[in-house]
Chains A and B, each alone.
Chain A
Amino acid sequence: MNLERALQTFIEESRELLSAMEDALLALESAPGDGDAINAVFRAMHTIKGSAGLFGLDAIVEFTHVAESVMDRVRSDEIAVDESLIALMLRCRDHLVTLIDDLASGQQGEHAAVGAALVQALQALLGGGSNATVAVATENAAPQPEAGANATTGEGVGNDAWHISVRFAGNLLRNGYDPLSFVRYLATLSEILHVEPVTDALPPAQEMDPEECYLGFEIRLAAGPAQADIEAAFEFVQDDCSLLILPPHAPLTDYALLIATRPEADEQLGALLVSCGALTEAEVAQVLSAADATPELVVAATPAPAVAPAAAPAARQGREATTVKRSSSAIRVDASKLDQLIDLVGELVIAGASAEVMARRSRDRNLMEANSSVSQLVDAIRDSALRLRMVEIGETFNRFRRVVRDVSQELGKEIELTITGAETELDKSVVERIGDPLMHLVRNAMDHGIETAEVRVQQGKPAAGSLKLHAYHDSGSIVIEISDDGRGLDKERILAKAQERGLVAAGQTLSDQEIYGLIFQPGFSTAEQVTNLSGRGVGMDVVRRNIDALRGAIELDSRPGVGTTVSIRLPLTLAIIEGFLVGVGEAAYIIPLDSVVECIELDHGAIGQQNYLNLRGRVLPFLRLRELFHSRGQPARRQNVVVVRYAGQSAGLVVDRLMGEFQTVIKPLGRMFRHLRGFAGSTILGSGEVALILDVQDLIRTATERHCHAAEIAAECVETV
């Protein structure tokens, strides 16, 4: 395997683990007793340490080791989870992120001081406890106090090292584990004094299944690591191995139990233990004679700690559960492969449609039935293929928990973040590009929007400010709302500032929406003080540009003293949408069904040349798509109006034909048409033809702009005359 690529995997995995660790730490803040979260933090440290060891990244190994030790003590309830611990672990996590980033960029930053300070803080937590757990993995010489204690019980054997006895289950190899890798990992914990392979289970060559694992090991490991560390080495194969760990100077009865529980012949195992150096021949003889006499008694009399796997069943279960979750969420697929799959499925749908036509023409009942079940399956495949690219927005939202926590501390404000609609799905490519704009908005809300606790209390609001992130699907788009209950926008100040900057002419009257829109202008900021968070006049215009690039829209609503809500409306690119197929001239177009309200016939007599109609007492402006698109051919005798609604605005679209509902896959129109406005994309119809998807929002917006523009020109003409 290419080491460079393996390293890349390590970097990616570490980043994932660190972000999981952050989530877990933040979860701990609200629920300090959450065993899963503690385990998640522990596992992140542990796994990074293990993998870093493979690459010889000593700095990371040493650092994670100390953090892991602390978390291990937390797991065993020796260290309490409190605010200071969470803060410390968060800082450790950040430090690791820097280390990993350095590794990724190939640069060597100077973070030693930060690391040393953190290690010191962690060591302080570990306090005067066993120095064996504090010791860095590579140091193995430290004598263990507990081991000494064991020795004094008198029953202890002379062996001053750990003894590990492991038998792997037959399916170990099939599950993708290499028995040797565990031995190698143990070598990173401490010095392996001796390894004795146990091959008794190996059948004769002709009966051997090469995919079956028949191996076991008797390992003598120099004292130093804690039992939990050794157990953790086998964490991933807990179900696939039988593990016994005997501490240094373990009582002889433990070894008796070991010999009794293993399937191998007692004498033979005894010999193995001798050659391993775990027992002397005299000790083996003693064990064997005792075992012959009263094996049951030995089992019963065995002190509990020796039976390692049974020691902490609850903790184990927790770990198993999280391990399962991990494996189900960790398939990495190249996005282009998914696109290719979706293209192929699209073709399959079209091919299926023409097969169905053929089947119907043949009038062969059986063929038709078979074909219809095929097309059902094809539909199901298409749906799941499309869903592959969709991700929940929750992951993006959760990033802000940390941001809100840190920023509110920095600002000395109390801010509570509420997240709703985290399960709302949108395309991965959109998710990736929405993070930065959201970050700006969240920071803005915290910095400018929410007041300090004193001001809030004075105004009769709760001392803690509230910040809400909310996502939902609406009219074929996803809406993300960021709302705060702060002071709201100051219209007068925005207007004054805009006039000062020359963005608005003096005396010009603007609607509230227009005034709020001004803050998205480049170089506009009303913050009196420039903080390091926001207020530098970059931000809102960048947000606007990013959202525009995603063909989305941003709106702002604010009430003085009550709060501000920013809503971002984004298209679900590449999502499957329900469309309404209409014909204009010779071409077919698709209107997203979510935005369609109703269809009515256009009454030419009553309308004449005007472009609005009376819809149950309300004025409905409409666009004649034939004229807009310069369509050729004769207009239909009976034209229809499709009433569409977008973000609270209603409008009509006059079309020639209504062709019904159609489920469609959005295909991007490609670079060549990126300047083309009014279309959200294209799709392929059952007939194989391409139909364009109308962007209702864009159509309404451009129509409005054009109208305003025309009115201005008309006004100018009047003036010049």
Chain B
Amino acid sequence: MEQLTLARVEEGRHGEEEARGSQYLTFSAGGQMYGIGILAIKEIIQYGGISTVPLVPEFISGVINLRGSVVPVVDLAARFSGQPTRPTGRSCIIIVEAQEEDEIQDVGVVVDSVSGVLDFLPADIEPAPAFGTHIKAEFISGMGRVNGHFIMLLNVQRVLALDALLSNGSAALQ
């Protein structure tokens, strides 16, 4: 089993932390490179074992059994571009701690492949542009500069704030 658990440090608000210099896990989803601050990440597991949940938006792949607890899984590519991920041998699910109000819930994020962990100094992180990216500016906490190109550093809490979206999406049954 290809399972690597990353050290996790006690911290309060991931979103704010990310803007300052720290370590980011980089990965690709839907052909794009993104980064997530490692403090928000619990572990990375192999893709698979997803049970679909009916009547939810397409970007929710379903739920998985993570050692006895039921964890929802979000397809990042579908969330950003509407194109669901085609699973390959390198596909992974990154388990992220999402904070909603005062509750912390684990959420899985489907990505095409995980690249590695990069150190970003504060000087390497540019503020998000007001427009020009294919995803909403509020999802981006900063642009990390690596070898002359940029990686979008995600504000995980915003990306995974699904409560509002789901309350609309699940009206289908009614």
Interface residues of A (CB under 8 A from B): 343-344, 346-347, 350, 586-588, 628-631, 667-673, 675-678, 682, 684, 688-692, 702, 705-706
- Which residues of B sit under 8 angstroms from A675, Cβ to Cβ? 166-167, 170
Q: Of residues A347, A629, A673, A689, which shows the largest number of chain B Cβ atoms within 10 Å of its Cβ? A: A673
Given A587-B51, A676-B166, A682-B70, residue A671 in contact with residue B105 (CB < 8 A): yes
Given A671-B163, A677-B173, A702-B173, residue A629 in contact with residue B54 (CB < 8 A): yes
Closest 10 CB pairs of A and B: A629-B54, A690-B51, A347-B68, A343-B68, A346-B68, A675-B167, A672-B72, A675-B170, A676-B170, A690-B63
Complex: A682 Cα to B174 Cα, angstroms: 20
In the complex, are the beta carbons of A705 and B55 less than 8 A apart?
no
- Which residues of B sit under 8 angstroms from A350, Cβ to Cβ? 65, 68
Question: Closest approach, in angstroms, between the C-beta of A15 and any C-beta of chain B?
Answer: 27
Please tell me the size bucket of the interface on B.
Answer: 20 to 34
Complex: A668 Cα to B68 Cα, angstroms: 12
In the complex, are the beta carbons of B70 and A672 less than 8 A apart?
no
In the complex, are the beta carbons of B54 and A672 less than 8 A apart?
no
Question: Closest approach, in angstroms, between the C-beta of A337 and any C-beta of chain B?
Answer: 15
Complex: A669 Cα to B68 Cα, angstroms: 12
Q: Of residues A343, A630, A675, A677, which shows the largest number of chain B Cβ atoms within 10 Å of its Cβ? A: A675
Given A629-B54, A678-B55, residue A672 in contact with residue B65 (CB < 8 A): no
Complex: A669 Cα to B71 Cα, angstroms: 8
Closest to A683 in B: B70
In the complex, are the beta carbons of B52 and A587 less than 8 A apart?
yes
In the complex, are the beta carbons of B174 and A705 less than 8 A apart?
yes
Flag whether B53 is at the interface (Cβ < 8 A): yes
Closest to B164 in A: A675
- Which residues of A sit under 8 angstroms from B163, Cβ to Cβ? 671-672
Complex: A692 Cα to B65 Cα, angstroms: 12
Question: Closest approach, in angstroms, between the C-beta of A417 and any C-beta of chain B?
Answer: 39
Question: Closest approach, in angstroms, between the C-beta of B166 and any C-beta of chain A?
Answer: 5
Question: Closest approach, in angstroms, between the C-beta of A421 and any C-beta of chain B?
Answer: 32
Closest to A679 in B: B53
- Which residues of B sit under 8 angstroms from A672, Cβ to Cβ? 60, 72, 105, 107, 162-163, 166
In the complex, are the beta carbons of B70 and A669 less than 8 A apart?
yes
Question: Closest approach, in angstroms, between the C-beta of B39 and any C-beta of chain A?
Answer: 21
Question: Closest approach, in angstroms, between the C-beta of B79 and any C-beta of chain A?
Answer: 13
- Which residues of A sit under 8 angstroms from B162, Cβ to Cβ? 672
- Which residues of A sit under 8 angstroms from B62, Cβ to Cβ? 690
Given A629-B54, A688-B49, A692-B53, residue A677 in contact with residue B65 (CB < 8 A): no
In the complex, are the beta carbons of B53 and A678 less than 8 A apart?
no
Closest to A589 in B: B54
Flag whether B147 is at the interface (Cβ < 8 A): no
Given A587-B52, A628-B173, residue A689 in contact with residue B65 (CB < 8 A): yes
Instruction: Encode B10-40 as 1/0 by CB contact (under 8 A) with A.
Output: 0000000000000000000000000000000
Complex: A689 Cα to B72 Cα, angstroms: 13
Question: Closest approach, in angstroms, between the C-beta of B48 and any C-beta of chain A?
Answer: 10
Closest to B103 in A: A671
Given A690-B63, A702-B173, residue A631 in contact with residue B69 (CB < 8 A): no
Closest to A668 in B: B70
Given A667-B70, A673-B72, A682-B70, residue A690 in contact with residue B65 (CB < 8 A): yes
In the complex, are the beta carbons of B166 and A682 less than 8 A apart?
no
Question: Closest approach, in angstroms, between the C-beta of B97 and any C-beta of chain A?
Answer: 13
In the complex, are the beta carbons of B170 and A682 less than 8 A apart?
no
Question: Closest approach, in angstroms, between the C-beta of A199 and any C-beta of chain B?
Answer: 52
Complex: A587 Cα to B62 Cα, angstroms: 11
In the complex, are the beta carbons of A587 and B69 less than 8 A apart?
no
Question: Closest approach, in angstroms, between the C-beta of B61 and any C-beta of chain A?
Answer: 12
Complex: A347 Cα to B70 Cα, angstroms: 12
Flag whether B56 is at the interface (Cβ < 8 A): yes
- Which residues of B sit under 8 angstroms from A586, Cβ to Cβ? 52
- Which residues of B sit under 8 angstroms from A631, Cβ to Cβ? 54
In the complex, are the beta carbons of A678 and B105 less than 8 A apart?
no
Flag whether B64 is at the interface (Cβ < 8 A): yes
Question: Closest approach, in angstroms, between the C-beta of A682 and any C-beta of chain B?
Answer: 5
In the complex, are the beta carbons of A677 and B70 less than 8 A apart?
no
Flag whether B90 is at the interface (Cβ < 8 A): no
- Which residues of A sit under 8 angstroms from B174, Cβ to Cβ? 677, 702, 705-706
Question: Closest approach, in angstroms, between the C-beta of B162 and any C-beta of chain A?
Answer: 5
- Which residues of A sit under 8 angstroms from B54, Cβ to Cβ? 587, 628-631, 692
Q: Of residues A343, A587, A672, A689, which shows the largest number of chain B Cβ atoms within 10 Å of its Cβ? A: A672
Question: Closest approach, in angstroms, between the C-beta of A538 and any C-beta of chain B?
Answer: 27
Given A343-B68, A684-B68, residue A671 in contact with residue B56 (CB < 8 A): no
In the complex, are the beta carbons of A344 and B65 less than 8 A apart?
no
In the complex, are the beta carbons of B173 and A682 less than 8 A apart?
no
Flag whether B67 is at the interface (Cβ < 8 A): yes
Question: Closest approach, in angstroms, between the C-beta of B1 and any C-beta of chain A?
Answer: 12
- Which residues of B sit under 8 angstroms from A691, Cβ to Cβ? 51
Given A670-B105, A671-B105, A690-B51, residue A678 in contact with residue B68 (CB < 8 A): no
In the complex, are the beta carbons of A673 and B67 less than 8 A apart?
no
In the complex, are the beta carbons of B55 and A676 less than 8 A apart?
yes
Instruction: Encode B70-99 as 1/0 by CB contact (under 8 A) with A.
Output: 111000000000000000000000000000
In the complex, are the beta carbons of A673 and B53 less than 8 A apart?
yes
In the complex, are the beta carbons of A670 and B72 less than 8 A apart?
yes
Complex: A671 Cα to B103 Cα, angstroms: 9
A-B contact pairs, 19 of them (CB 8 A): A347-B67, A588-B51, A628-B173, A668-B70, A669-B63, A669-B70, A670-B72, A671-B103, A671-B163, A672-B107, A677-B170, A678-B173, A682-B63, A682-B70, A688-B49, A690-B63, A690-B64, A690-B65, A691-B51
- Which residues of B sit under 8 angstroms from A670, Cβ to Cβ? 70-72, 105
Complex: A692 Cα to B53 Cα, angstroms: 8
Given A677-B170, A677-B174, residue A671 in contact with residue B100 (CB < 8 A): yes
Question: Closest approach, in angstroms, between the C-beta of B83 and any C-beta of chain A?
Answer: 17
Complex: A673 Cα to B169 Cα, angstroms: 10
Taking a contact as CB atoms closer than 8 A, the residue among B55, B72, B100 that contacts A630 in the complex is B55
Complex: A407 Cα to B107 Cα, angstroms: 50
Complex: A690 Cα to B54 Cα, angstroms: 13
Complex: A630 Cα to B100 Cα, angstroms: 29
Question: Closest approach, in angstroms, between the C-beta of B156 and any C-beta of chain A?
Answer: 14
Given A344-B68, A690-B65, A702-B173, residue A676 in contact with residue B53 (CB < 8 A): yes
Given A672-B163, A676-B166, residue A690 in contact with residue B55 (CB < 8 A): no
Question: Closest approach, in angstroms, between the C-beta of A702 and any C-beta of chain B?
Answer: 6
Question: Closest approach, in angstroms, between the C-beta of A686 and any C-beta of chain B?
Answer: 11
Given A669-B70, A702-B174, output 6 extra A-B contacts at Cβ < 8 Å: A630-B55, A668-B70, A672-B163, A690-B51, A690-B70, A692-B54
In the complex, are the beta carbons of A667 and B69 less than 8 A apart?
yes
Question: Closest approach, in angstroms, between the C-beta of B135 and any C-beta of chain A?
Answer: 20
Closest to A705 in B: B174
- Which residues of B sit under 8 angstroms from A688, Cβ to Cβ? 49, 65
Complex: A671 Cα to B68 Cα, angstroms: 17
- Which residues of A sit under 8 angstroms from B49, Cβ to Cβ? 688-689
- Which residues of B sit under 8 angstroms from A587, Cβ to Cβ? 51-52, 54
Question: Closest approach, in angstroms, between the C-beta of B14 and any C-beta of chain A?
Answer: 17
Question: Closest approach, in angstroms, between the C-beta of B24 and any C-beta of chain A?
Answer: 25
Closest to B172 in A: A630
Complex: A628 Cα to B56 Cα, angstroms: 12
Taking a contact as CB atoms closer than 8 A, the residue among B51, B55, B107, B166 that contacts A689 in the complex is B51
Question: Closest approach, in angstroms, between the C-beta of B106 and any C-beta of chain A?
Answer: 9
Complex: A671 Cα to B162 Cα, angstroms: 9
Question: Closest approach, in angstroms, between the C-beta of A663 and any C-beta of chain B?
Answer: 16
Complex: A629 Cα to B162 Cα, angstroms: 20
- Which residues of B sit under 8 angstroms from A629, Cβ to Cβ? 54-55
